[in-house]
């Protein structure tokens, strides 16, 4: 699709163009109250706002924030990246009350997935949020993926498809629009697009049979939005990442099913434009123009750039592109119309109305997701204070390092006096593994040890440290809170399939024999 603008006489007034340009932006801001500049731009046509962990203190504050935004524009789209599990904004400082996708996929009960998503949607709606940048429909076909992992329902396309559909249905039944991501599939990447441009070498047949299966299910389930990925698929477009690719957005996502497309007619949202995969190559202004021209309808920006200047730069770049003939006036107007159409849907969807609260569903799901493997001798539950050794990898940007994880807090609640310490790849490199483990053993003394790991298969330093610890203390219990790719080790091995707070609580219950959790 070639960007096209009509004659100068057909270009509409500056005010109309400006309103349309503002309408396609989904910017962020800093603080827990709406700044004056944001309210002013909402009055001028801005139709969406994105919220992040920095904007959230508690549900009452969040509800007051969204209510203030709606005094400026009743149908404003208020979006958030609330996947549950490892990626939480509602509970960024305490950890999520919901397990993430990988745990739900491990249980493989679509009714449970639907119920979890519905309760999550109800809580979002209660806070005035009506668009969730979730679920992740990525097939985690590459176990070394540094950014998806437990954010995926799993490695089987059909499993991911049925749970994606259930999640979309549950979330939207609470009146919150789902934004299925990261189209056309971020699971087969070894690079995090926050840092660089991932390249997927799969051919079109593989793409159709693997990556696209869950997205077709999401479209069939009625997902109101789809988020594009900043990934390069040469089989589809050798030059442009999917976010900027007419072949990916207009030619695949929008194209009729009869022509091999997905037939999607809802809102296409970009992933964060300040991510290096786009900003380092194209710049956010040029990238935003190319994205709208390629078929995107809404520009997500604000995770890293959260100021008025960013909004004005993107607004002006879009207006200028229309006036210079680089971007079709009609394409921009169509994108803005899709944003406003989704806003109208959220007003009529009855956000949260009639959704029966299910406050314990997240913990129930986390308990069901546990998988435990006993070592050679029967495991004796912890009854005295333990020592928790948390082998901690560097957090990816999507998860962030503000959200606590692990089992120590929940274990200390059940067994007061339990202590914890963090061990990192940096400390292993600086001290050497033998010295690191010697220090750990001295700190633990005669207490029982619980080793907590996260994606041990992706981190050689972690695997080495764990092996050395188990050689010295074979009675150590191991809790894997990432993707359980490595063989089970330890006197008791627990796979939680995620690092949400409720996953830690479920594991602590099993370690102590204090709760209803059981191996499944």
Q: Which residue of the set 20, 271, 297, 455 is catalytic?
A: 271
Closest CA to 49 of 64, 70, 63: 70
At residue 87, the 3 state secondary structure works out as: strand
Strands 25-26 and 48-51, by their bridges, are unpaired
Burial of 24 (0-12, 13-18, 19+ CB in 10 A): buried
> How far is CA 145 from each of CA 142, 153, 373, rounded to the nearest angstrom?
5, 14, 25
Helix, strand or coil, per DSSP, at residue 389: strand
Rg of the chain over Cα atoms, rounded to whole angstroms, equals 24
CA distances from 409 to 26, 319, 435, 476 (A): 36, 52, 26, 18
Which tokens hold the place of 153? Answer: 């329902």
Q: How far apart are CA 511 and CA 490, in angstroms?
A: 13
Separation between Cα atoms, residue 374 and residue 214, nearest integer Å: 35
Place of tokens 């274990």: 411
Measured distance CA(520)–CA(506) in Å, rounded? 13
SS3 436: helix
Cα separation of 363 and 337, whole Å?
40
130: left (phi over 0), alpha (psi -120 to 50) or beta: alpha
**Residues 102, 163, 194, 250: which is the catalytic one?**
194
The structure tokens 């500056």 sit at 14
In whole angstroms, what is the distance from residue 421 CA to residue 411 CA?
13
Q: Is 138 labeled as catalytic in the residue annotation? A: no
Query: Using CA atoms, how far apart are residues 199 and 202, in angstroms rounded to an integer?
Result: 9
Phi, psi of 422 (to 5 degrees): -105, 135
| Burial of 54: CB neighbours in 10 Å, binned 0-12, 13-18, 19+ | middle
HEC sequence for 495-517: ECCCCCHHHHHHHHHHHHCCCCC
Whole-number Å distance between alpha carbons of 42 and 35 = 11
Told to judge if 271 belongs to the known catalytic residues of this protein, a careful annotator would answer yes
Instruction: For residue 362, give the 3-state DSSP assignment.
Output: helix
Buried b (16+ CB within 10 A) or exposed e, 129-165: bbbbbbbbbbbbbbeebbbbbbbbbbbbbebbbbbbb
Q: Catalytic residue numbers?
A: 194, 271
């Amino acid at each position: 699709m070639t960007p096209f603008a009509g004659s100068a006489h057909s270009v509409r007034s500056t005010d109309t163009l400006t309103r349309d340009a503002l309408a396609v932006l989904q910017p962020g801001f800093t603080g827990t109250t709406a700044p004056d500049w944001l309210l002013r731009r909402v009055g001028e046509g801005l139709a969406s706002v994105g919220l992040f962990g920095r904007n959230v203190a508690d549900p009452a504050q969040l509800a007051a924030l969204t209510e203030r935004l709606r005094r400026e524009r009743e149908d404003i789209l208020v979006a958030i990246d609330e996947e549950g599990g490892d990626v939480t904004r509602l509970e960024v400082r305490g950890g999520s009350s919901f397990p993430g996708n990988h745990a739900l996929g491990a249980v493989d009960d679509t009714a449970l997935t639907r119920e979890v998503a519905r309760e999550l949607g109800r809580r979002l709606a209660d806070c005035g949020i009506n668009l969730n940048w979730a679920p992740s429909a990525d097939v985690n076909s590459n176990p070394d993926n540094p950014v998806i992992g437990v954010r995926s329902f799993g490695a089987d396309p059909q499993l991911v498809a049925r749970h994606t559909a259930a999640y979309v249905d549950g979330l939207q039944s609470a009146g919150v629009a789902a934004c299925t991501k990261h189209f056309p599939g971020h699971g087969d990447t070894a690079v995090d697009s926050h840092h660089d441009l991932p390249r997927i070498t799969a051919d079109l047949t593989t793409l159709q049979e693997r990556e696209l299966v869950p997205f077709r299910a999401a479209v069939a389930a009625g997902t109101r939005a789809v988020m594009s990925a900043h990934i390069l698929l040469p089989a589809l477009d050798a030059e442009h990442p999917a976010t900027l690719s007419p072949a990916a957005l207009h030619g695949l996502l929008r194209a009729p099913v009869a022509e091999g497309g997905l037939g999607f007619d809802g809102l296409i949202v970009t992933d964060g434009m300040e991510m290096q995969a786009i900003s380092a190559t194209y710049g956010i202004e040029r990238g935003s123009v190319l994205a709208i021209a390629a078929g995107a309808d809404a520009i997500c920006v604000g995770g890293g750039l959260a100021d008025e200047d960013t909004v004005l730069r993107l607004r002006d770049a879009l207006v200028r592109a229309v006036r210079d003939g680089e971007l079709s006036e009609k394409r921009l107007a169509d994108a803005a119309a899709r944003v406003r159409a989704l806003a109208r849907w959220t007003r009529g969807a009855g956000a949260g109305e009639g959704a029966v609260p299910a406050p314990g569903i997240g913990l129930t799901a986390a308990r069901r997701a546990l998988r435990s493997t006993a070592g050679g001798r029967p495991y004796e539950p912890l009854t005295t204070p333990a020592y928790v050794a948390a082998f901690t990898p560097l957090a990816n940007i999507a998860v962030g390092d503000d959200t606590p994880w692990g089992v120590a807090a929940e274990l200390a609640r059940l067994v007061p006096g339990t202590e914890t310490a963090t061990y990192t790849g940096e400390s292993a490199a600086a001290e050497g593994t033998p010295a690191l483990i010697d220090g750990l053993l001295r700190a633990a003394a005669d207490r029982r040890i619980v080793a907590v790991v996260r994606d041990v298969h992706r981190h050689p330093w972690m695997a080495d440290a764990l092996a050395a610890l188990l050689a010295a203390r074979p009675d150590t219990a191991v809790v894997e809170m990432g993707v359980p790719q490595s063989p089970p080790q330890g006197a008791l091995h627990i796979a939680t399939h995620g690092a949400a707070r409720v996953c830690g609580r479920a594991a602590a219950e099993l370690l102590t024999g204090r709760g209803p959790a059981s191996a499944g």
